Amino acid sequence: MSTPNRQDPRLVVVMVGLPARGKSFIARKLQRYLNWLGYRARVFNAGDYRRQRLGAYQAHDFFDPDNPAGSEARKELSMAALDDLLRWLAHGGDVGIHDATNATRERRRLIRERCDAAGKRVLFVESVCRDASIVEANVLATKLTSPDYVGMDPEEAVQDFRVRIAHYERSYVPLVDEDGSWVKLIDVGRRMTLNRIGGHLPARIVYFLMNTHITPRRIWLSRHGQSEFNVQDRVGGDPPLSAKGLAYARNLAEFVQTSIATDKPPRVWQSMLTRSRQTAEHLMLPTEPWKALDEIDAGICDGLTYTEIETHHPEVFTARRHDKLRYRYPQGESYVDVIQRLDPMILEMEREEGPLLIISHNAVLRALYGYLTGRAMEEVPHVPIPLHTLIELIPTAYGCNEERYFLGPVA
């Protein structure tokens, strides 16, 4: 993984497609991924502008292409989002994501002209879904929790939204060659079509989109149980679990078997280190060891206590406290290094459509948690990931639902 190239022209990613095709889910996934890599990325959602300025609920006829007032209002809201996006790019942003239907060639032409005038590149991302069952699932799962329908009877909300989709279908024109640079995702990534893709950042975005989907699933994160080094406050090494750590491993196995059982057992990923392997072995499930999940390499400080580091390597202690994200242990790693080595694993995680349990280490899980919850890279080293706690994350179109389960014993 390369460091973000700040010399590249700023990029505008423009979402395209009918409602209930996963555009907002994809847009926010892309934002999380780019922020996690160190790019400054932000989603500008036209629906948010509509809700802020006109109120949360607008009846379906507001979206009727034969309603001139509604059409003009929607155009103004879309352009307001684009104007704010371009201003944000001009003040240091790297990637602005315009999240709207952008269903007509006229709207896309207008967006491209404004971006061209501002000297910004444009990449259109269209989500096409021909599978009626996927659309129906998105209507029920996403729009019943949408801020557009807060407090509304679920059946009325679904009916209203279906009519809204029908309005958009009357004016929708898919991307064609003349639209410029674009990627088309068909049936949540089962097929992909590319057109005029050039440059490092667009290519990187395409590769991420190639490995993603919008299927809801659960991801569980757990540190290994308490190790002998945790007891001694030592960093790194390959120590075994303590008695409390072994007790946690048994509690985790019982919880997995009784409380998170699903029709499809979770895939289990673990690091290559002893304390992670010992935590996983009680699960009675196949496990997959990943070198990328090993703890941050502490280099010359491996096996030392923090007091010993401060005493014998005061320059290391001070420098790392000053910049925990970027400081690299001598002969070891920084948090940025950890993020870089996790990048290929993130793509494998995105390809996985079933439940996933990851047993790893503090720094690594901070990085993974930061990605899944949309934390900026600078926040990653400070995310609390306590021992003996199972973290459940469910990425959604509007964020990430989280539950934490303390499974004891007290560390």
For each successive 10 residues of the chain (411 residues), what is the average pLDDT? 56 96 91 91 96 90 95 97 98 96 96 96 94 82 73 87 94 93 87 92 93 85 98 97 97 89 83 98 95 98 97 97 97 97 93 93 97 91 97 84 89 48
pTM above 0.85, yes or no: yes
Tokens 């439940």: give the residue: 355
Q: Which tokens sit at 375?
A: 């934390």
- On whether the CB atoms of residues 9 and 120 are closer than 8 A, the answer is yes
| DSSP symbols for 52-102 | HHH-S---GGGG-TT-HHHHHHHHHHHHHHHHHHHHHHHTT-SEEEEES--
Classify the C-alpha dihedral 189-191-193-199 as positive or negative.
positive
DSSP 239: -
Rounded to whole angstroms, the Cα distance separating 32 from 397 reads 12
Q: Is 11-210's fold the same as 219-406's? A: yes
Count CB neighbours of 131 within 10 A: 12
Count CB neighbours of 65 within 10 A: 16
DSSP 352: -
pLDDT score, position 263: 65
- On whether the CB atoms of residues 60 and 167 are closer than 8 A, the answer is yes
CATH 3.40.50.300 corresponds to the domain 11-210: yes
Residues, the chain, total? 411
- Closest C-alpha to 185, from 216, 146, 211, 217: 211
Active-site residue list: 99, 129, 224, 295
Residue ranges covered by each domain of the chain: 11-210, 219-406
What is the side-by-side order of every strand in the sheet holding 389-396? 287-290, 267-271, 356-360, 219-223, 389-396, 399-406
Class of 219-406 in CATH:
alpha beta
- On whether the CB atoms of residues 78 and 112 are closer than 8 A, the answer is no
